[in-house]
Chain A
Amino acid sequence: MNERRMKWMLWIVVLALGLTACEKKPDAATGAGGETIVRIGSVSPLTGPQAHLGKDNANGARLAIDEINAAGVTLGGKKFKFELLAEDDQADPRTATVVAQKMVDQHVAGVLGHLNSGTSIPASKIYADAGIPQISPSATAIAYTAQGFKTAYRVMTNDLQQGKVLGEYAVMKLGAKRIAIIDDRTAYGQGLADEVEKAAKAAGGEIVAREFTTDRSTDFLAILTSIKAKNPDVVFYGGMDAQGAPMVRQLHSLGLKAKFLGGDGVQTTEFLKLAGADAEGVTGSSPGLPIDIMPGGKEFREKFTAKYGAIQNYAPYAYDAARAMVEAMKLADSVDPKQYLAQLPRVQFTGVTGQIGFDEKGDIRGGAITLYRVRNGKWEVLETVRGEAPPAM
């Protein structure tokens, strides 16, 4: 170690110690109208391949917060103003925990997010430790609410419900006796495929092949050739559109006559673009209702598009998640997470996406699944399957 280096080091230490001395204590800010500012976090991937979905979620939440602020909030005799703190988790589990920590540091009253299951799950532990309620607009993995955390909620139907609907549909409506299942070995694909397998078996179908691929693959000829030998009526794929589209093309090029079925990863406009003419006749499902059927869908679309442009996917759910959080605060007459967390299970209201209320695990009650089929290059609604009806108020 030489002299210059050592001097540098001393300087750094002095500078760093000086910095700590100037640490500022964050205190409750007050708005222009004398209201107390309350922060609510929104976490989703704002950059990267899913940025368009992430921004959509943040904007959905922002719309709700703006409306609530405009109406005015008075709780416990005090006036409050909400402020949305939107952060980026890059859809990466490790980054998600860093951002979750940031949220806790900023003393947010609650978090709307994250977008993916893979990020919502590791982050939920940090929120649970800090006692901050988390409502995800779009995480569907069963594990998210199955961890026993009191703080984890969602307004989206989970994979269990979707898998059940898909499996039953394949057997009952498509009349499939022999079913082949492929998944992409991701948390989403495998989770959904397992539920479909269970439901299809329960409904009397036979699983003749269970094959696997990855979320990076483009060549499915080998597994499709083995599937062809088993002669199935339906091929279900648990995975995303980027694999689903070439898969359905290769299925046709091998001369396989089976019907192709997918979950919400396949039921996308991107799938239509990638699969081209081969998309015709493919069935896909999506949690929730199509926006035209949602109770407040039309009105929401007008408000949202005027402000932020076209709705990508989950914005209405983010909107309802924000409203559910504020409903609980109203019930508790407090913005304190400790107080209003206890009231979240009692929340009941009609949101944009339907009746909002939670079961004891934190899942939405009576979530709906909609089935679509490609006809003339467009997804057309086949039917909507609802879960158990919410209890009447």
Chain B
Amino acid sequence: MSTRWQKWKQNRRAAWLAYIALAVLLAALPFLTGAALGRGWVRILDFTLLYVMLALGLNIVVGYAGLLDLGYIAFYAVGAYMYALLASPHFNLHLPFWALLPLGAGLAGIFGILLGAPTLRLRGDYLAIVTLGFGEIIRIFLNNLNAPVNITNGPQGVNLIDPVSIGDFSFSRTHSLFGVDFPGIYTYYYLFLALALLVIFVSLRLQNSRIGRAWVAIREDEVAAEAMGINTRNIKLLAFATGASFAGISGGLFAGFQGFISPESFNLFESIIVLCMIVLGGMGNIPGVILGAVLLTIFPEALRYLGELQNALFGRILVDPSDLRMLIFGLALILIMIFRPAGLLPSVRRQREFGSDASVLAQEQASLYDTQR
């Protein structure tokens, strides 16, 4: 396999061909999906891309730097509310999109530092519970800041948010190009795709940079990292800020795309789902994280067809499909983790860790127990 693999690597023409094929597929995807499954599924594709961005952001915090964050969705909320409040009739402000997106990313980044600063000394699960608390605090404030001064409009949420538009080009309208109609959800797809690619690119570049290696060093052994001259405080804060800013971008896009946001979209369960995406796909590994995000967004939607399946098999619906959906989802989480604990596409580094010493350890363990019994 390995010689073939090398041969293949040399065969750059084939590699280019594959990349072009991938590009064509990504470009044609909304049309394919729209034609085969209907436009409702194109909307799901759009959401998938938002989750890809979210998951890649959390991957920096948890996957690279090893800081367990259970309140990540708060930064998504900050980005979304930033966009919503500055581009809606709520304050009668209508800032342009190109200003909103960096603002949302920046503010989320600042919140990331706000969360990171007091928690620098905390480790592992203590950090987990504090981040969880932080996420809940943000949500509770968003839900209640409608009195005495109405800032967020409370549980009613913010409505009539401006759609994303650059200049006169509004992403929510149908555009025609070469006689092909691009409805709003299609143009949004291309915008989200472009930004997701940007986030992927930044993640890739960070991974192998000085900062990326510093993150991994902290994850593996914080004391040793500090001894090697890494400023662990700044590097940790940078991880929080970078991860949060990705979520801020994603949140802003969500607000513009949906046109309506309310605090109930940013609950703890969303944080947990995003964490599941990266662990399931393979923490620290970008293709794995993307796979995790795609699977966990599409899978529950696909399970909606369970009702139709039951109808076809038994002629009637035996069990409410939405009840089964979450049950199957939970079972899938357990099974995947038992059989692939490092995720579906583990990072090379982790794979190596598992390949060698873990199995050796397990063997040692087993032989020890044998003698004991």
Are any A and B Cβ atoms less than 8 Å apart in their complex?
yes
Q: Is A10's CB under 8 angstroms from B21's CB?
A: yes
Q: Is A187's CB under 8 angstroms from B262's CB?
A: yes
CB of B278, distance to nearest CB on chain A (Å): 21
Q: Which of A1-38 contact B (CB under 8 A)?
A: 1-3, 6, 9-10, 12-13, 16-17, 19-20, 23
The CA of A129 and the CA of B258, in the complex, are separated in Å by 13
Query: Main SS of chain A's interface residues?
Result: helix
Q: Is B39's CB under 8 angstroms from A102's CB?
A: yes
A121: chain B residues at CB < 8 Å are 157, 159, 260
Partner of B265, one of A51, A93, A98, A129: A93
Flag whether B353 is at the interface (Cβ < 8 A): no
Q: Is A9's CB under 8 angstroms from B25's CB?
A: yes
The CA of A118 and the CA of B28, in the complex, are separated in Å by 33
Partner of A20, one of B32, B43, B146, B156: B32
Q: Is A90's CB under 8 angstroms from B155's CB?
A: no
Q: Which of B41-90 contact A (CB under 8 A)?
A: 42-44, 47
Nearest B residue (CB) for A14:
B21
CB of A36, distance to nearest CB on chain B (Å): 22
**Contact A125:B40 (CB < 8 A) given known A17-B28, A185-B155:** no
The CA of A3 and the CA of B156, in the complex, are separated in Å by 53
A122: chain B residues at CB < 8 Å are 258-260
Q: Is A12's CB under 8 angstroms from B322's CB?
A: no
**From B156, B157, B307, B322, residue with most partner A Cβ within 10 Å:** B156
Partner of A105, one of B17, B40, B320: B40
Nearest A residue (CB) for B320:
A47
Flag whether B373 is at the interface (Cβ < 8 A): no
CB of B346, distance to nearest CB on chain A (Å): 16
B42: chain A residues at CB < 8 Å are 101
Q: Is B14's CB under 8 angstroms from A98's CB?
A: no
Nearest B residue (CB) for A190:
B155
A102: chain B residues at CB < 8 Å are 38-40
Q: Is A13's CB under 8 angstroms from B260's CB?
A: no
**Contact A191:B156 (CB < 8 A) given known A47-B321, A125-B260, A129-B172:** yes
Q: Is A99's CB under 8 angstroms from B258's CB?
A: no
The CA of A129 and the CA of B179, in the complex, are separated in Å by 22
Q: Which of B1-50 contact A (CB under 8 A)?
A: 1, 4-5, 8, 14-15, 17-18, 21-22, 24-25, 28-29, 31-32, 35-36, 38-40, 42-44, 47
Q: Is A118's CB under 8 angstroms from B320's CB?
A: no
Q: Is A147's CB under 8 angstroms from B154's CB?
A: no
Flag whether B294 is at the interface (Cβ < 8 A): no
Flag whether A97 is at the interface (Cβ < 8 A): yes
Partner of A23, one of B1, B21, B35, B156: B35
The CA of A259 and the CA of B152, in the complex, are separated in Å by 33
CB of B205, distance to nearest CB on chain A (Å): 19
Query: Main SS of chain B's interface residues?
Result: helix
Q: Is B262's CB under 8 angstroms from A93's CB?
A: yes
The CA of A191 and the CA of B36, in the complex, are separated in Å by 42
B32: chain A residues at CB < 8 Å are 16-17, 19-20
Partner of A141, one of B156, B172, B259: B156
Flag whether B144 is at the interface (Cβ < 8 A): yes
Nearest A residue (CB) for B173:
A129
Q: Is A51's CB under 8 angstroms from B320's CB?
A: yes
The CA of A125 and the CA of B56, in the complex, are separated in Å by 30
Q: Mark A362-387, 1 if CB is under 8 A from B, else 0.
A: 00000000000000000000000000
**Contact A47:B38 (CB < 8 A) given known A94-B265, A122-B260, A129-B172:** no
Q: Which of A222-261 contact B (CB under 8 A)?
A: none
The CA of A238 and the CA of B44, in the complex, are separated in Å by 34
B184: chain A residues at CB < 8 Å are 129
Partner of B322, one of A16, A90, A105, A187: A90
**Contact A185:B143 (CB < 8 A) given known A20-B31, A101-B43:** yes
The CA of A226 and the CA of B304, in the complex, are separated in Å by 46
Q: Is B40's CB under 8 angstroms from A20's CB?
A: no
The CA of A51 and the CA of B320, in the complex, are separated in Å by 9
Partner of B39, one of A1, A94, A101, A190: A101
Q: Is B18's CB under 8 angstroms from A1's CB?
A: yes
CB of A269, distance to nearest CB on chain B (Å): 21
Q: Is B25's CB under 8 angstroms from A12's CB?
A: yes
Q: Is B35's CB under 8 angstroms from A20's CB?
A: yes
Q: Which of A64-118 contact B (CB under 8 A)?
A: 88, 90, 93-94, 97-99, 101-102, 104-106, 118
Flag whether A309 is at the interface (Cβ < 8 A): no
B160: chain A residues at CB < 8 Å are 125, 147-148
Flag whether B264 is at the interface (Cβ < 8 A): yes
Q: Which of B302-345 contact A (CB under 8 A)?
A: 304, 307, 320-323
The CA of A210 and the CA of B36, in the complex, are separated in Å by 53
CB of A363, distance to nearest CB on chain B (Å): 17
Q: Mark B255-296, 1 if CB is under 8 A from A, else 0.
A: 000111010110000000000000000000000000000000
Flag whether B237 is at the interface (Cβ < 8 A): no
**Contact A118:B39 (CB < 8 A) given known A47-B320, A190-B154:** no
CB of A128, distance to nearest CB on chain B (Å): 10
Q: Is B258's CB under 8 angstroms from A94's CB?
A: yes
The 25 listed contacts between A and B (C-beta, < 8 Å) are A10-B17, A10-B18, A10-B21, A13-B24, A16-B25, A19-B32, A20-B28, A23-B36, A47-B321, A90-B322, A93-B260, A93-B262, A99-B40, A101-B42, A104-B39, A105-B39, A118-B262, A125-B259, A129-B184, A141-B156, A143-B156, A143-B159, A185-B143, A185-B154, A191-B156
- 6 pairs of A and B residues whose beta carbons are closest in the complex: A47-B322, A102-B40, A23-B35, A122-B260, A6-B18, A105-B39
Known pairs A3-B5, A125-B260; list 5 more (Cβ under 8 Å). A1-B8, A2-B8, A9-B25, A125-B160, A185-B143
**Chain A interface residues toward B at CB < 8 A:** 1-3, 6, 9-10, 12-13, 16-17, 19-20, 23, 47-48, 51, 88, 90, 93-94, 97-99, 101-102, 104-106, 118, 121-122, 125, 129, 141, 143, 147-148, 185-187, 189-191, 212
